[in-house]
Amino acid sequence: MRFFHHSRATIGALGSLSSIACSQGKPAVTTATPVALASAVASARPVALTSAQQLVVVITPDWNATTGTLRRFTRDDPSTAWQAVASPVPVVIGRTGLAWADASLASAISQPVKHEGDGRSPAGAFPLDTAFGFAPRAELSWMRLPYAALQPGTDCVDDESSAYYNTVVDRATVPRVDWNSAEHMRQIGQYRLGVIIGYNATPPQRGRGSCIFLHIWGGPSSTTAGCTALDAGELEALMRWLDSARRPALVQLPAVEYDRLRVAWQLPQA
């Protein structure tokens, strides 16, 4: 996704909260095709992981689970092994589970593929780009990610017909508001603090899903419409740790797929 302010820069993805955002719309299930399966076994390591020195791993029990566990790992450089940091913490995800961000990674035709409004969080590997929140930047001296303070007119656009689809944009800075559907981010309490997940970002493809974030959850039994959410204190601890100079990345997968891709993607044992 993109963050648009006075100029347009492609830096990430978007998100939402407990089932009221993270891209809503038509639910239907999109699944992998036989052609997509050909490249599944020999999947190359994703670009997001090639230079990452900080890794956030979210693993769920299966494709339809709505809860999972988040773990943090660090390494000195891309040639060294991952080392665990801190204790695992619980997370909640999309109200219908996970779906592949990239259909070519599917290991079975029946596995879901992410699309707008499916209520699923994207499965795969993604950069963690830009932080956002209600507080002014000056109050967050600890922040080591690029940070955008949400304004009264900040929208995350989920209207597929808009030129700003899958973009966080301040309505006051655009030449023309061309969307009919968006998350009004400053009005959503669970966006008091969050991080953009770099899904469907370069450039956004219409219909693949929008507004995917890490953000504060509504509780351990809540769900989202496609984001990954956790306790506010745990989210702040994670964000205090994240450092853009260390090129942080998120890997989010069901347990079986994590085990399948672990060696090819050079992931830690989790």
Q: Is residue 143 part of a domain?
A: yes
Q: Is residue 208 part of a domain?
A: yes
> 36-60 burial, b if ≥16 CB within 10 A, otherwise e?
bbeebeeeeebebbeebbbbbbbbb
Q: Which amino acid would we find at residue 110?
A: S
Residues spanned by the domain of 73? 2-25+49-261
Amino acid 33: pLDDT:
55
Q: Is residue 43 part of a domain?
A: no
Q: Which amino acid would we find at residue 255?
A: A
Amino acid 270: pLDDT:
85
What's the rounded Cα separation, in Å, for the pair 206 and 157?
11
pLDDT tens, residue order, the chain (270 aa): 666 543 233 333 333 333 335 755 444 556 665 444 434 444 689 999 999 999 999 999 999 999 999 999 999 998 899 999 999 999 999 999 999 999 999 999 999 999 999 999 999 999 998 999 999 999 999 999 999 999 999 999 999 999 999 999 999 999 999 999 999 999 999 999 999 999 998 889 999 999 999 999 999 999 999 999 999 999 999 999 999 999 999 999 999 999 999 999 999 998
Tally of domains in the chain = 1
What's the rounded Cα separation, in Å, for the pair 222 and 10?
30
What is the CA angle 73-258-266, rounded to 5?
Answer: 55
Q: Is residue 236 part of a domain?
A: yes
Using DSSP, state whether 246 is helix, strand or coil. Answer: helix
Q: Is residue 269 part of a domain?
A: no
Q: Is residue 32 part of a domain?
A: no
Amino acid 18: pLDDT:
32
Q: Is residue 35 part of a domain?
A: no
Q: Is residue 217 part of a domain?
A: yes
Using DSSP, state whether 41 is helix, strand or coil. Answer: coil
Amino acid 44: pLDDT:
86
pTM for this entry: 0.88
Amino acid 78: pLDDT:
87
Query: Are the C-beta atoms of 212 and 15 separated by less than 8 Å?
Result: yes
